[in-house]
Amino acid sequence: MMGGHHAATGAAAWVTVSATAPYALGLYPASPLGVAAGALVCAGAALLPDADHHSSTIAHALPPFSGPICRGIGKISGGHRHGTHSILGVLAFTVIAWAAGLLTVTVPELGELAVGSGLFSLILVAFAAKALKFARGGGTLAPWLLSLPLAVGITVFAPTEWYWLPAAVGIGAFVHLLGDALTTGGVPFLWPWVPKPPRWWASTPVLNRCWQPNGYLGAPILGNAGSVREWILLVPISLYAIVGIVEATATGVVGVAPGWVMEAAQRLIEGRPS
């Protein structure tokens, strides 16, 4: 699946899980701004499994750091569509997000700042901006500039609003696996254990496309990555994500954000921590 499509499915997945609107499930409710910000973070997290490829979308998202990092991850994980494209890889990304949330710094008059969550979200939102073409034509600084305001907000308010960071990362990474499983390549869900099918299965049409001779699993209903079928599927998914983000953002800007601003201002006036 193409990078932009991975990001769109990640955003849509977070809207579905966290929003409480009639068209969403509300399984993991978040505040209106949590829905909007989380959708962008989840969109970036949906690109993380492709950190194993030196020419992937995220390898060019945050120059000059992203390229060498992706090459290193590719070597550690065994190459493209190996370790990072597995349940173990999803768990690893989730644990990293959880650990990032533990990195906080207490600043006088501002209280506790979630530095780890802010830095991690900076990276993920930059990934999403690159994949969704928000940074088109802006040079190498564009992804950084687009993600920085959100990262600053998360750093300031994360101790009370960013408890769902690991959930957003885990959901995004897992959605990536599902998307690639719908293409002809398949994924090694159980890596490093990649069992091969029996000979009779490998020689049976249709079956050998779901459990491939190399042990990869999937249901390649979309065909090759970037196919017309993939585009047809992603148009409504992208529209769903956009509607959810716009609705949550409108609600959050009108209702939640002023409350956060007033609370922060009050803390500064009184000189007390959060």
Strands 105-107 and 111-113: antiparallel
Mean pLDDT of 162-180: 90
How many residues in total does the chain contain? 274
Total-model pTM: 0.83
Residue 17 scores a pLDDT above 80: yes
| Coil vs helix vs strand at 91 | helix
Residue pair 164/28 in contact by the 8 Å Cβ criterion: yes
The chain-wide mean pLDDT, for the chain, equals 80
Question: For the segment 207-247, what is each residue's pLDDT rounded down to a tens digit?
Answer: 999 999 999 999 999 999 889 999 999 999 989 988 888 87
d(C-alpha 58, C-alpha 45), whole Å? 10
Question: For the segment 76-127, what is each residue's pLDDT rounded down to a tens digit?
Answer: 888 888 999 999 999 999 999 999 888 888 878 767 777 888 888 888 888 8
% of the chain at pLDDT higher than 90: 35
Report residue 173 as tokens.
């990474």
Report CA torsion sign: 47, 15, 246, 264. negative
d(C-alpha 24, C-alpha 235), whole Å? 18
- Its domain, for residue 230, covers 3-270
- Give the chain's domain count: 1
